[in-house]
Amino acid sequence: MLHTPLTISIDGSGWMMPARHCYSPNFSARPEGVAVSLLVVHNISLPPGQFGNGWIERFFCNRLEPDTHPYFATIASLQVSSHVLITRAGELVQFVSFNDRAWHAGRSSFDGVDECNDYSIGVELEGTDTLAYTEAQYQVLAQLTRALLAHFPALNTKRIAGHCDIAPGRKTDPGAAFDWDKYYAQIASS
């Protein structure tokens, strides 16, 4: 089933509509004069391989309870975030303003420039490296990408990367299950 096309708008403060806003404390100001020029595609599931349970939002908002699941004990103290999560159903959840630096990339480099968090937007897909992403996720990601490309002049389709591309050897997402050709084709279609 095809997802209904969205009209995504981004206001001057860097928040988009339509989206559910779930404010994360894990962000900081971008360095002065640094333009958004990179889009990073990630994946996440909590616990690993499980979906639709609200744990991702709790994690990005520092409300993950370490004794709820053995895996949570290993990550609950981390302070990380992403700008946006796209759920399996295609829901958009925004955690950090696009004008601010979300803490999604970690130690990273793109095109010879380190610290990708400074100049990138991080989009998490609810998923794993090996499980196919949903059609709704591809459609919403393409619609979001088109809105970001229109809003940020320094961003273009050659400046879209996976987490694996900016942190090779450390990160593998969005993984082999992510169909880059399909994604780029959907960005190009109206």
Q: Which residues are catalytic?
A: 124
The 3-state secondary structure of 36-100, one letter per residue: CCEEEEEEECCCCCCCCCCHHHHHHCCCCCCCCCCCHHHHCCCCCCCCEEECCCCCEEECCCCCE
Q: CA 129: distance to chain centroid?
A: 14
Helices 180-188 and 135-151: angle between axes, nearest 10 degrees = 50
Q: What φ, ψ does residue 124 adopt, rounded to 5°?
A: -95, 135
**Which residues share a beta bridge with 44?**
126
| Total residues belonging to the chain | 190
Q: Is 77 exposed, middle or buried (0-12, 13-18, 19+ CB in 10 A)?
A: exposed
Q: For the chain, what is the total number of helices (H) and then of strands (E)? A: 5, 12
